Amino acid sequence: MLSVFDKGPGHSRREFLRIGSLGLGGLCLPQVLGDRALAAGEQSISTGKSVIFLFQFGGPSQFETFDPKMTAPDGVRSVTGEISTTLPGVTFGSSFPQLARRAGKLAVVRSYVPGREISNHLIYPIVHPTETLGASLGSLYSRMAGMTHPVNGLPTNAALFPNSVDERCPPTRMDFGNFLATGNVGTAFAPFVPGGNSTLLHNLQLNMPRDRLDERRRLQAQFDGINRQLDGLDGADALDRLQAQAIDVIVRGAADAFDLSRESARVIARYDTAPLVRPESVDRRWRESYPLYLEHGKTLGKLLLLARRLCERGCGFVMINTGFVWDMHGVDGVHAGVEEGMRYVAPPLDHAVSAFLDDVEARGLSDRILLVMCGEMGRTPRISQLGGRDHWGNLGPLVLAGGGLRMGQVIGRSTANGGEPADSPVQRRNLISTIWHTLFDIGALRVRPDAPGPVAKLMTDNEPIGQLIA
């Protein structure tokens, strides 16, 4: 963690900047501060839009979220009931009253196939060895768009976890796949992680007054100790250049994007999800899972607010992951069942996403930011004897909002038992293509001479979700 403090009059070490570390990131930003020559010297292939990928890790149920199937038999239909929306004849799971009132701002896909071969929570479509070259979507984006914004130096690819906004939260588990993977595109394009999952220099603090930040030589001297810790690491020979760039970003103000205290108290309060899940509300039978429910509840709103701030300032791809909270098998001592689990995870999601939709609309950002919500899979059509739903790759929930796409619609239908697409199947490759068409001018990308063949092929050879194209 790199923290810079203001020691000016009237303040007792008021923190005005906190940004995390990643990889070599004890310098904070070295993996996202790349050469800007390409961005300055060639026509941009970027549309100027951003994507926030809200990853519902664990696999949300399609029934209890946005396809309740209340005409199906007991044991299949949603155990939480349904609620009418502002779209005629369309209902959501009853846990989402705020989103139901904002259904006109959403596109709900009821025929999304996360992956028929799904097993053991492999993290589609964030990382998939054949469809994304083993790289996260954000890493592929930054490979083509550049690692930093050409004007303000902001990272173009970020990954946000609970400890990005609350340092008391532990690192998010990576045992089902590396959310920060870069695959064939190279480690230089790893996502920037505020707060950081990396332990290298995690607690570094530079206690310098704000008015000395322009004294770059003095600030540079504060980094001297970092050189010793980086001895022997790959890429250490580029340390000086990356240090200078990191300082440049701080001085030019790009790091303001990471400081939530710059938002008004009203906006912060509107996003706040912390009161929605409290320790006393979570059954302690879930020894492993209940801390995750609490972390999800207290951080999701702040993470969406941080994501909006980053996108507003030019970050192109932001992944949000609050942890392994959507895994609802109903196994005593491990995971809550569906009905109980939804009481923990749905209210923060309903509240935070609704706040986000209202906020970006008020700021005129709805067409500039595409929000994508899905997990690595869906859930079995039938409730188990334990009150849970197990892994199911044949159908899963997918919701999108904004990005200049056609909202206020339901795309596709599921079969009577909610286990397969009944029509208009949407595959992972269609979702990924929709994201690329939002972020890039695909025609310009096809003729980009420096685009690696596999990357260009991945981005240009698949069709987006047709019903979303305006």
Q: What is the pLDDT of residues 26-50, one digit of tens each?
A: 333 333 333 443 444 456 799 999 9
Number of domains in the chain: 1
* Structure confidence at residue 250 as a pLDDT band (50, 70, 90): low
> Has residue 230 been placed in a domain?
no
Does residue 18 form part of some domain? no
pLDDT tens digit sequence for 175-220: 788 899 999 888 889 999 988 544 323 333 333 344 444 444 444 4
In this predicted model, what pLDDT tens digit does every residue of 279-322 receive, in sequence order? 999 998 888 888 999 999 999 999 999 999 999 999 999 999 99
Residue at 160 is within a domain: yes
Dihedral (CA of 426, 431, 433, 437) sign: positive
Mean pLDDT of the chain, nearest integer = 82
Query: Are the beta carbons of 326 and 55 closer than 8 angstroms?
Result: no
Alpha helices in 368-452 (DSSP H): 428-439, 442-446
User: Is residue 10 domain-resident?
Assistant: no
Give the integer Cα–Cα distance in Å for 76 and 55: 25
Instruction: Give the lowest-confidence range in 143-147, 160-164, 215-219, 319-323.
Output: 215-219
Query: Which neighbouring-strand residues pair with 55?
Result: 321, 374
Please tell me the predicted confidence (pLDDT) of residue 35: 40
Q: What is the mean pLDDT of residues 160-184?
A: 89
Q: Tokens in use for 423?
A: 């029509």
The pLDDT-based confidence of 336 (bands split at 50, 70, 90) is very high
What was the pLDDT predicted at 119?
Answer: 62
Q: Is the pLDDT of residue 350 over 80?
A: yes
Tokens of 134: 């083993």
Domain that holds residue 438: 47-197+262-468
Over residues 84-107, the pLDDT tens digits come to 999 999 999 999 999 999 999 999
Which of 210-214, 405-409, 460-464 has the largest mean confidence?
A: 405-409
The pLDDT assigned to 254 comes to: 66
In a domain, 364, yes or no: yes
User: Which element (helix H / strand E) includes 148?
Assistant: none
Q: Tell me which DSSP letter residue 14 carries.
A: E
CATH number for the domain spanning 146: value is 3.40.720
pLDDT of 365 above 80: yes
Q: What angle do CA 169, 174, 177 make, to 5 degrees?
A: 150
User: With 50 as the cut, is the pLDDT of residue 233 above it?
Assistant: no
pLDDT of residue 243: 54
**Is residue 299 in a domain?**
yes
Nearest to 204 by CA among 18, 393, 330, 16: 18
Q: Which pLDDT value is given to residue 117?
A: 64
> What average pLDDT does the segment 244-262 reach?
68
Report the alpha-carbon distance of residue 458 to residue 131 in Å, rounded. 7
- Residue 319, helix vs strand vs coil: strand
In 3D space, the residue among 112, 60, 116 whose CA is nearest the CA of residue 393 turns out to be 116
Better-scored residue on pLDDT, 377 or 234: 377
Distances in Å between the Cα of 244 and the Cα atoms of 30, 235, 400 are 10, 15, 39
Provide the H-helix boundaries in 87-223: 97-100, 137-145, 216-222
Residue 204: inside a domain: no
Q: Taking the model in full, what pTM does it have?
A: 0.83
Residue owning tokens 């001018």: 441
* Mean pLDDT of the region 341-369: 98
Determine the length of the chain: 470
Would 213 be classed as within a structural domain?
no
* Beta-strand relationship, 421-423 and 14-19: unpaired
